[in-house]
Amino acid sequence: MRSVLLWCALLMKRLLKRPAYIAVLAAVPIAALALSWASSAGSGIVTAGLVAKGSAGGAEERAARRLTEAGSAMRILTFDGEEEASAALRSGEIEAVWILGDLEGTLRAAARSGTAEHPIKVVEREDDPLLALSREKLYAAIFPELSYEIYADLMEDRFGETDGSVLRSYYDTRIVTSRIIEFESVSGGEDTGPGYMLSPLRGLLSLIVLAAALSSALYSIGEVRRGAFVWAGRPAMYAIPLLSHFLAALGAGAASLTALAAGGVLGNVLAEIACMTVFCALCAVFCEALRLVLGTEERFAAAIPAAIILSLALAPIFVDIRGFAPVKALLPPYWYLIWTRFI
């Protein structure tokens, strides 16, 4: 046992002398700090500009307040006029413009007749799935105003009540303030969720762990060719490169768990350590198999970007792409991210 620990220490010391491995380790705090900063700086997967043309206290202002005050993965900027918002759209500062016109009058007409002019104008830079999903937030902000107008029309028809202040005060007393939907994680705890910008942090860190093992495998190709481990005998000379890859991944894994804890997205500590250890072992096996198949440093160096890009695309980091099951099964980050869903 003592000799194994000594070997681990020597191999780790050798890795720490490699500039590429140091660069990979340095990427862990950089990635964590960058995403933490982005999460706290009001970034969004989609940025929309909002123009509310109505009077103060009207339906337009209430809808605008719902859009800007509720927490969301969207970033919403308010503009004083349509021209200013359009200029921001053309410059790339925002991806869409939402212009709220005369909501109150138009929605009242819609409640009475079932048809109305378009009180809301939406201008988008391109046909984008995220922009299409963002419209749901706009619908959610407008629906309470339409609901009120339908209620007011009903009260006028049935009871002859037309006093807006009376109708509004009674309507507001029926607002449900408690949460109707309960969100839970797979592990059973309440899912309050970290900042959405921190959600891909685990996936990006898993790529860094894989990159650490890949850098070790790249160095091992030259060492094996020079016969650096021949003196250790047949079983050990094959195990030493594999152990080196595992230690390289483990060092990056320990830094990654620290970054996850700092970002507030670390689950059960023992389960996290167990998953990370198994993941590091998978990375080591994957890199050693790749080294044996490719054989030369040039081929292996060319394969590193491909492995990272495939993992980035097919592992559930930003989106979970369906299909490609045989390729996914070969990628260690894919399995790690699947396992950690149950922590």
Q: DSSP of 30-60, one letter per residue?
A: HHHHHHHHHHHTT--SEEEEEEE-S-TTSHH
Low-confidence residues of the chain, pLDDT below 70? 1-8, 10-11, 13-17, 35-45, 54-57, 70-73, 114-116, 174-199, 227-238
Question: Is this model's pTM higher than 0.75 or not?
Answer: no
Give the residue from 95, 56, 53, 50 showing the smallest Cα distance to 70. 50
Q: Helix, strand, or coil here: 198?
A: helix
Structure token digits, residue 213: 């093992």
Per-residue pLDDT reduced to its tens digit, 109-138 = 777 776 667 778 888 877 777 777 788 888
Please name the residues in contact with 175: beta carbons below 8 A apart, sequence gap of 6 or more: none
Q: Helix, strand, or coil here: 172?
A: helix
Instruction: Quote the crossing angle between the two packed helices 332-339 and 269-294, to the nearest 10°.
Output: 170
Question: What is the rounded CA–CA span in Å between residue 104 and residue 119?
Answer: 9
Give the residue from 74, 197, 200 showing the smallest Cα distance to 130. 74
Question: What is the rounded CA–CA span in Å between residue 120 and residue 84?
Answer: 17
pLDDT at 42: 52
CA dihedral 79, 81, 82, 83 (to 10 degrees): -100
pLDDT at 146: 82
pLDDT at 48: 85
Question: What is the rounded CA–CA span in Å between residue 141 and residue 118?
Answer: 16
- Residue 120 gets which letter from DSSP? E
| Number of residues that this document lists for the chain | 343
Strands (E), the chain: 46-52, 74-78, 96-100, 120-124
- Residue 160 gets which letter from DSSP? -
